[in-house]
């Protein structure tokens, strides 16, 4: 990794993903004083930042469709209000994230023509479009658990791909659209299952160990790639279709707290679980990595140079093997 460049400087910015032609990025940000995230696009040099989501509601998890003429993202704009309130969780929980009642929308690349693809009172988000342009894979709370679903790009033919109790989220299609990588945690004890049920009832997910998994695009042949007790998450594919890049705190074990800390670094791993390689060494939070379609650049979120405590910005770098 070389020629690291910071692309954003105001507010919290994250989940920046390349267009299929590698010339643009789509991301979420609360820049310009917004209370919650909106969806923005920019060129890969950081120029031409443009908001492409409605200015009311919360928006997250955006992705281009092949051809760069349309985008998908999750939104609460159907609620016709301001930012949704955060659910409350017990004070002993170190970190959690809320499950807002997002639905998934398609829009033109400039934000016009907003069209709902899902209609569910619970969380539908994390949409990723397959490179063949036929399918969207996403995470959903619609059945009372948190699972991965696949649908056609017009919102039809919804199929559930995971059904193990617990969290299965953050899915991502392989470059040839035949496999999916995702992150998962499945409770095993009575206490864990009870806590998980409470999480789903109160619409939040608390931080737990997470592992990286791979399956075929129809949900078959599930393979676990990591098993280290750490939080391994935000996986996406290298363009060669053989490797996966992800974020983890596996190298930040804290003896004093008997747990893993908040130093998340980026790693590469082969799709069979072999060949683990650490690729960042910054001692802060690095996450949400994605390689450009030609494999020559990598983009990720980091709080290595925040304008306020723990703020996250978007960085891009050249990648050489």
| C-alpha span between 87 and 285 (Å, rounded) | 24
| C-alpha span between 138 and 119 (Å, rounded) | 14
pLDDT string in tens for the chain (321-residue length): 999 999 999 889 999 999 999 999 999 999 877 888 999 999 999 999 999 998 888 999 999 999 999 999 999 988 767 788 877 777 777 678 899 999 999 999 999 999 999 999 999 999 999 999 999 999 999 999 999 999 999 999 999 999 999 999 999 999 999 999 999 999 999 999 999 999 999 999 988 899 999 999 999 999 999 999 999 999 999 999 999 999 999 998 777 766 777 889 999 999 999 999 999 998 889 999 999 999 999 999 999 987 777 789 999 999 998
Using CA atoms, how far residue 203 sits from 56, 68, 78, 81, in Å, is 21, 33, 18, 19
Domain 20-241 listed as CATH 2.120.10.30: yes
150 φ/ψ angles, rounded to the nearest 5 degrees: -130, 140
Task: Read off the pTM.
Answer: 0.95
User: Are β-strands 243-248 and 253-254 bridged in parallel, bridged antiparallel, or unpaired?
Assistant: unpaired
DSSP 37: -
203 contacts: CB under 8 Å, gap ≥ 6: 87, 98, 99, 100, 122, 123, 141
Helices (H), 223-262: none
Q: CB of 83 within 8 A of CB of 70? A: no
């Amino acid at each position: 990794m070389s020629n690291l460049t910071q692309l954003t400087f105001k507010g919290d910015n994250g989940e920046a993903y390349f267009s299929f032609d590698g010339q643009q990025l789509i991301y979420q940000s609360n820049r310009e004083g917004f209370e919650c995230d909106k969806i923005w696009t920019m060129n890969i040099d950081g120029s031409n930042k443009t908001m492409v989501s409605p200015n009311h509601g919360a928006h997250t998890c955006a992705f281009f469709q092949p051809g760069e003429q349309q985008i998908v993202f999750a939104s609460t704009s159907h609620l016709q209000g301001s930012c949704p309130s955060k659910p409350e969780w017990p004070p002993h929980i170190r970190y959690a994230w809320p499950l807002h009642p997002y639905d998934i929308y398609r829009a033109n690349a400039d934000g016009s023509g907003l069209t709902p693809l899902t209609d569910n009172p619970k969380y539908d988000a994390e949409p990723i479009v397959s490179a063949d342009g036929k399918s969207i894979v996403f995470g959903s709370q619609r059945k009372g658990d948190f699972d991965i679903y696949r649908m056609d790009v017009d919102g039809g033919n919804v199929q559930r791909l995971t059904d193990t109790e617990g969290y299965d989220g953050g899915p991502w299609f392989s470059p040839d659209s035949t496999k999916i990588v995702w992150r998962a945690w499945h409770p095993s004890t009575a206490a864990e299952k009870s806590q998980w049920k409470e999480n789903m009832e109160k619409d939040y997910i608390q931080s737990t160990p997470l592992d990286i998994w791979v399956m075929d695009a129809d949900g078959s042949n599930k393979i676990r790639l990591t098993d280290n007790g750490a939080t391994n998450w935000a996986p996406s594919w290298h363009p060669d279709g053989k490797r996966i890049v992800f974020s983890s705190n596996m190298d930040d074990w804290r003896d004093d707290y008997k747990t893993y800390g908040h130093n998340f670094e980026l790693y590469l791993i082969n799709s069979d679980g072999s060949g683990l390689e650490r690729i960042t060494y910054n001692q802060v939070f690095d996450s949400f990595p994605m390689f450009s379609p030609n494999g020559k650049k990598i983009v990720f979120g980091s709080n290595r140079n925040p304008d306020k405590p723990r703020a996250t910005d978007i960085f891009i770098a050249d990648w050489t093997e």
